[in-house]
Structure 1
């Protein structure tokens, strides 16, 4: 596996006990709103919330539009993120919700040089006998980092025809085919897209497949753009390309929830 984007639970345990421990960010998504009263954290980890920290207000740009550069810079500074300190992000869904989104935003968009995803998330940490604690860590001090954002990693909806290349849809196959749509008011997919459900990037254990297996499975094209329902699990597909050591697709951040805001845009169903 590409060590620059994934870290094992044992590797993380060792680095947390070292002289320069990484900054650890908890990116778990809890359905139904709010957090469970028995939520437990990796020691010292800080919360990075999908709705509050990694998204702007739903509407223009879909259900989870990216925050402004200024707002995300403030979010990173408030957690003490600097380029000199490595960052580890984790969730409890194999990176799907929403550690891969955090990895993409901090590494690919904001340009941090050392961001990794805990492979297997909380389950892998527990399996390695890692400790969980009842409270999140405390921020030790604000940083003054001003990221140089890379908007070339993004494709806007009006650029898809010219710059999007081959579209990859990270949603479940039933949603891609238009058989069901639990989150958005219209079912189907963007015409010309191919399906690569993000869950197929993982082993049954919730850890990523090997780099070789991913390289064999992932769609190839000279230009690729990943999307999903709202720009979250699409980042998991992009992360899979990084694990495989392949060139990264761009992200259509608004994704399906943005595409269907204009009723004149075409919709495909089936394969």
Structure 2
């Protein structure tokens, strides 16, 4: 991979970037009524990015790619150009989930087309609001550009067939970042079946945050994930969640920790659970 560029930015550091023309701020919130909330109040000069139509491809059938499959690279590159983002633009992304949700997915996708200067706002919108970052109702019109990338996704990922093999192969490590009760199979609020992929271990994504909802310091994350990954083949570590979104938060945190980027299983539980695959439970 290219040189390390911190995937996390604080509100204080973002405030210092105000007025710089090469900075684009993205609101990638995907909570209920996200766009309506964006129009009511967003960080000044922020542009809106929709996870359903811009950070995901067609997903009428979740058994093929999950609830949020990746879009075609060409479509995503077109989206970037429409937001006025060029390969050397400094992109800062936030959401209303402290950066744990679609902001991290957007970070993954930008890194996967080779973008270097991209960061997720630690603490998200709520933290920025609390620390006095200027808010606005104004809808900014970006200056359209041509991003120009023509390759494939650059970050490692795996499909259903690889995960099926991994579920029966002790040389693989499968990490499920959903909350413990979903992993255990106690309940499933979104997909049709509760439980987890056989052999998967549960490391909920919220271990990446401190008590204030901020990303933990790099050295803390390094010590944690170094211990988790010790003795495991980095190329055979697979991270998944419900639909390939929150898993990106853990991948971001592993990258932030200075460790090799693990594979993303984009289809995640939403795809696995719809394909008559074995299901494990801890209840």
Matched positions, count = 267
Q: 1:32 to 1:46 in 2, by over 3 A?
A: closer
Q: Distance in 1 between matches of 2:256 and 2:45?
A: 26
State the partner residue of 2:106.
Answer: 102
Judge conservation of contact 1:101–1:235 (CA < 8 Å) in 2: yes
1:173 pairs, out of 171, 175, 180, with 180
Q: Distance in 2 between matches of 1:11 and 1:61?
A: 37
State the partner residue of 2:8.
Answer: 6
Q: 1:3 to 1:148 in 2, by over 3 A?
A: same
Q: Distance in 1 between matches of 2:194 and 2:10?
A: 37
Q: Distance in 1 between matches of 2:222 and 2:154?
A: 26
Q: 1:165 to 1:16 in 2, by over 3 A?
A: farther
Q: Distance in 1 between matches of 2:39 and 2:139?
A: 12
Judge conservation of contact 1:4–1:116 (CA < 8 Å) in 2: yes
1:149 aligns with 2:161: no
Judge conservation of contact 2:84–2:144 (CA < 8 Å) in 1: yes
C-alpha distance after superposition, 1:20-65 (max 9, x if no partner): 4411111011226763386311111111111111011222211111
Higher mean Cα deviation, 63-72 or 155-164? 155-164
Secondary structure of 1:35's aligned partner: helix
State the partner residue of 1:258.
Answer: 271
TM alignment of 1:133-144, pairs within 5 A: 133-144=136-147
Gaps of at least 5 residues in structure 2 are: none
Q: Distance in 2 between matches of 1:146 and 1:232?
A: 23
Q: 1:23 to 1:34 in 2, by over 3 A?
A: closer
Judge conservation of contact 1:41–1:136 (CA < 8 Å) in 2: no
Secondary structure of 1:168's aligned partner: strand
1:233 aligns with 2:235: no
Using the TM superposition, give the Cα deviation of residue 151 of structure 1 relative to its aligned residue in structure 2, in angstroms: 4.8
Q: Distance in 2 between matches of 1:210 and 1:156?
A: 31
Q: Distance in 2 between matches of 1:148 and 1:22?
A: 24
Using the TM superposition, give the Cα deviation of residue 104 of structure 1 relative to its aligned residue in structure 2, in angstroms: 0.3
Q: CA RMSD in A?
A: 2.1
Q: 1:167 to 1:136 in 2, by over 3 A?
A: farther
Q: Distance in 1 between matches of 2:199 and 2:162?
A: 15
Higher mean Cα deviation, 32-41 or 120-129? 32-41
Question: Which 4+ runs in 1 deviate beyond 4 A?
Answer: none
Using the TM superposition, give the Cα deviation of residue 217 of structure 1 relative to its aligned residue in structure 2, in angstroms: 2.5
Q: Distance in 1 between matches of 2:39 and 2:92?
A: 23
Secondary structure of 2:238's aligned partner: strand
Judge conservation of contact 1:81–1:145 (CA < 8 Å) in 2: no
Judge conservation of contact 2:8–2:120 (CA < 8 Å) in 1: yes
Gaps of at least 5 residues in structure 1 are: none
Q: 1:78 to 1:36 in 2, by over 3 A?
A: same
Q: Distance in 2 between matches of 1:100 and 1:268?
A: 28
